[in-house]
Structure 1
Amino acid sequence: MANPRLNLDVAALRTLRAVYASASFSRAAESLGVAQPTVSYNIARLREVFQDPLFVRQGAQMVPTDRCIEIAEEVSELADRFEALVAPQQFEPAVANTQVVISCNYYERIVIIPTLVRMLRREAPGIRIRIIPSTVYGQEQLSRGESDILIGPIAVENENFFRRSLIRETYYCIMDPDNPLATSMTLDAYVAAPQVIVNYGGSFRSRFLVNMEAMGLSPNTAMEIPSPSELPDLLRGTDLIATVPSRVVQHFGESVASVPLPLEAEINITMSWTPRTHRSAPHSWIRDRIAQVASGLG
């Protein structure tokens, strides 16, 4: 008689990883593009195979058991390897019908994604793009299979991941157009001015902050926010300043005044992905298009 413990498939393993990552059957079903009963069925099969409940409900979340945590770590690597083996090697953009999940934040959503979407609508209208916020958890999202591509300034600390540099640019100071610093900004004035710091929802520190610290300086932090998107409204009618990449300044237009940052600092936007999608023709094509968009920014 065949050993039921060997009667597993990649769909079941991907389901385990998705529930483990999202702590929810419904969110796992959404990320996998299947119905929730399919998720429940696969988890039931896995519970029988591993003789463990795997997940127990605590409030609104499905919490993994100790055995599940152990299994999930191994399953993630196995699923990635298998998906890499079965990834399509041929790709016709005009008739493609697939979904690609991109993890990124505000900068990438205003600088790269709009041009990418227009390109895809012309060349591959059947490709569906799903954008999820990376905040400071992009590497974990890639590792858990929640995203296919990570775009952002946070370096991925994993030697097994692939990475490509996309954009390198400088920072500018922005403020209300009536702010006196809009006409003259020295380093001393910059350090003293009350500043809104964008922390991107976590402990990430922008390069200008790292360079300031190396100079023995620190900003006069008046406020911290997770995204630059609301900066024009926050700065309006105040003495506050903020520091953002130059292309964000372009996006804000005349709603803010801007001057070059009075110290050296650059932001480096990279694209990262895992072995799971490295040899996949559709994903490789998308990555090339993202790089093409970035190179066109000059």
Structure 2
Amino acid sequence: MDRLGGEAGSLDFAALNTLLLVHRLGSFTAAAEHLGVNQSGVSYTISKLRRCFHDPLFVREAGRQVPTRRCEALLAQAGQMLDMLDLMAQPEVFDPAGSDLSVTIACNYYERILLIPRIVSALRKEAPNLSIRVINALGDGHLRLLNHDADLLVGPLGRTDSGFHSRRIHSEEYACLMDPSHPDAGRALTVEEYLTLNHLLIDYGVSWKSAYLHELEAAGHKLRPALIVPSPAGLRELLAGSSLVATVPRRLGERIAADLVMGPSPFKGRFEISAVWTARTHRSAMHRWLRELVLESCSE
């Protein structure tokens, strides 16, 4: 018996993918540009979906297409269906030496300096024709995975949501980095001494706050930085010959320290660096190979 009739019978995976894109990008125009089609094509697809599901699906608010409650439920189901289709299309075995596929890894400055060179070297050795892309994660790495922008996240996930798989790479903690002429260089500091220093704060933006700051604020303290920068890039040059102190992940400090001195921080802010992925790629032969190679290349 034909269970699908009317508009429902004409639905396909491409229409569901368009629904997800409009939600993710917030506009018909952006979705059309992403798909390489005219906006009228996206509008036609959404109109067909509206008739099928008897719901407006999106309403315009503050310049964005905002999903209705009915649409939110459909988005979750559509995502599961497309993930299942993607999994069905994956080959049961993967030959890295003969592959010309592409992989995208989301990470931040820390991983780009300490881990990505090792990962890329290992990938290029086993799969010389593989195309590798590295994108920023910041505090939205989990969204990069959920939106299919990345195949793998390397870094601190910082979330407890269900639906993610992860494997620990290593543990990390924060330390103080300063010029060797600084009177407190390399010395173990009390909390009071630490708070009175001229701090160089790395502020990654609203989507991410360093773990040592969470620990410091949880203890009832507030850091008053003398200098705020958006990235650890150029940190060595900023600290050299100055009275500034930067609190950075220990391994990163060891890599960039050179002629600087590193000492313990009273706020360790311990955290885990992990490889993180979702159910969409969990059983894929290629992605299993990718994860194992990443973990092996990053092992200490």
TM normalised by structure 2 equals 0.82
Describe the superposition over 1:174-215 as per-residue Cα deviations: whole angstroms up to 9, x where unpaired: 123432222534223222212223343225333323333454
Aligned residues of 2:154 and 2:275 also touching (Cα < 8 A): yes
Alignment match, 2:211: 207
Aligned counterpart, 2:36: 36
Partner residue in 2 for 1:137? 140
Cα distance in 2 for residues equivalent to 1:39 and 1:122: 43
Change (3 A) 1:219 1:49: closer
Distance 1:8 1:197 in 2: 52
1:180 alignment partner, SS class: coil
Counting only pairs closer than 5 Å after superposition, residues 59-208 of structure 1 correspond to structure 2 as 63-66=65-68, 68-187=71-190, 188-202=192-206, 204-208=208-212
2:283 aligned with 1:294: no
Does the Cα contact within 8 Å between 2:28 and 2:42 map onto a contact in 1?
no
Superposed CA RMSD in Å reads 3.1
Letter in 2 for 1:210: H
Deviation of the 1:223 alpha carbon: 4.0
Pairwise CA distance, 1:14: 2.8
- CA deviation vs aligned residue, 1:12-71 (integer Å, no higher than 9, x gap): 32333234223366865787xxx5128874663343233377668899x76345365553
Of residues 275, 279, 288, the one that matches 1:275 is 279
Task: Say whether the 8 Å CA contact 1:201–1:225 is kept in structure 2.
Answer: no
| 2:260 paired with 1:256 | yes
Give the percent of matched residue pairs that are identical in Structure 1 and Structure 2. 35
CA spacing shift, 1:39–1:89, aligned 2, 3 Å: farther
The 2-side partners of 1:271 and 1:30 are apart by: 31
TM-score norm. by structure 1 comes to 0.82
**TM superposition shift of 1:229:** 2.0
Aligned length: 292
Instruction: Give the equivalent residue in structure 1 for 2:49.
Output: 49
SS of structure 2 residue aligned to 1:137 = helix
Equivalent position amino acid for 1:202 in 2: V
Q: Which runs of 4+ in 1 moved over 6 A?
A: 55-59
